[in-house]
Each structure stands twice: as structure tokens, then as C-alpha cells.
Amino acid sequence: MMRGAARAVRWLYDHAPWVLSLAPAAVAWEAVGRLVPGLPIPPPSAVLAALWTLLQSGLLAEHAGRTSLHLAVGFFLAVAAGLLVGTLMGRSGPAEYLLDLYLNLFLAAPLAALVPLLILLFGLSATSIVATVFLFSFFVVAVNTYTGVREADQRLVEMARSFGASEGLLLRRVILPGALPLILAGIRQAVGRAFNGVILGEMLVSLVGIGGLVMQFGGQFRIDAVLAIVAVIVAASALAIGAVQRLERRLLRWLEP
């Protein structure tokens, strides 16, 4: 039994070290929740029970489908537009001059404060939620793409030009491959921001999806259900970021010596 437990701990250490990091805090949280009555935050066992109830009822799956659609549309639009704008700024002096200030301003701005403006523009609709995801994700992709394109190896650029490479060929074969590490880093950062955007948008815009569930259970003071949904959001975000990291390692393998 001891050997089996040791193998299980070793497997967790190799594949899911975060479980070992969270385990002591979860045990302490559970103990305090059971020993101290009247705490406003329920213990992990109550959160897991609420999560099981949500899964059995089908309520979580129903709302997760809407959230996934809003997230996917807004995120992929943001990535496409961020790649386009970042590349344009990196290769065009006038575009850089016109857009650099706005890009940096919005990157530093409290984007949550701009969501009411999106509601005024698009109304209480799914379009506003998608626009919120786009707003949260676009700027980090654009800035990283712009930086990566600007920092392309000029020796390779000049060599390609000396062989008569067109601008399109130069982008495909030299500049974008060189900018790929920063582009992928921007996309990885944008994933987490997209999850923040979709939940905020659903909470403020039309109370649908996972964000709508958070507002619903929060209004009923069902903290166990709220924490269960938050755990699902965090897990989904971690899985998405992990998938991007695996893709990043695979695409960048050619950079290894």
C-alpha cells in the first residue's frame, strides 16, 4: 500500500504538481470549515457536493455551451485581428505611428470599465459578450505580434531581400517564423484574458452562460455553488492555457539547438 501511495504521489508530482500544492490548503480549509461553525465560506466537501448537483441537473452543461460559443468566437476574432494589426504595425511605419498610442492605452486601461460602452453599442445581446471577449484578448496579441515582427533578425531579412524575396514571401518564411515565440506567448496570455472577458460579459450584459449562473447563485447567497462554478472556470482556463503551451512547445521545437 505504501508503495502504491508513493507511486501515486510520484505520478502527481510528474503530471499534476498543482494537486500536491493545493492538497494541504484544501485539507486545512476542510478542517476549519468543519470545526468552526457559521463560517461564510463552505468547506471543499460542500463545494464538491454543489458541483456534483450542478453536473447531475445538466444546468452547468447547458450554460457552459453558451459560454464556450461566446468565448470561441470572440477569442478567434481577437487572435486573427491581433495578428493582422500587429504585423501591419511591425512592417509599416505609418501604421505604427497611427496605432501605437491606442494600442498601449487600451492595453493599460481598465477594460472592465469599457463594457457598458459595448452594451450601448450592441445592446443586451450575445454580440456584446463576444465584443467583450474580443476587447480583453485583442490587445495583448497585437502588441506581442508587433514586438515580434519588429525584432525579426535583420540579417535574415536583408539576405532574403538580396535574393529577391517579395514582402509576402519575406513574411511567411523569415519574419513570422522569427516572431512566432512572442506571438504564441501573446496568444497564451490572451486565453486567460478571454475567460475573464466572457464571464464578465455574461455577468453584466445578459445574465446568460456561466457568468449568468454566477450572478444567479450569488444573488441567492449560495456560496458553495458559486465556488463550484469558479473552480470549473479556473480548471477550464488552466486546460486551455496548457493546450496552448503544448502547441507552443511543438511549434517551437525547431528553435532548439
Mean pLDDT of 4-19: 54
pLDDT of 245 reads 81
pLDDT of 61 reads 81
Q: What is the pTM of this model?
A: 0.80
CA-CA distance, 190 to 180, in Å (whole number)?
15
Mean pLDDT of 52-59: 80
pLDDT of 148 reads 81
**Most confident of the ranges 15-19, 125-129, 137-141, 152-156:** 137-141
Tell whether the model's pLDDT for residue 227 goes beyond 70: yes
Q: List, as own/partner pairs, every contact residues 231-237 make where C-beta atoms lie below 8 angstroms and the sequence separation is at least 24, other chains included.
A: 231/47, 231/51, 232/51, 232/60, 232/64, 233/195, 233/199, 236/195, 237/191, 237/192, 237/195
* pLDDT tens sequence across 191-214: 888 988 888 888 877 667 788 778
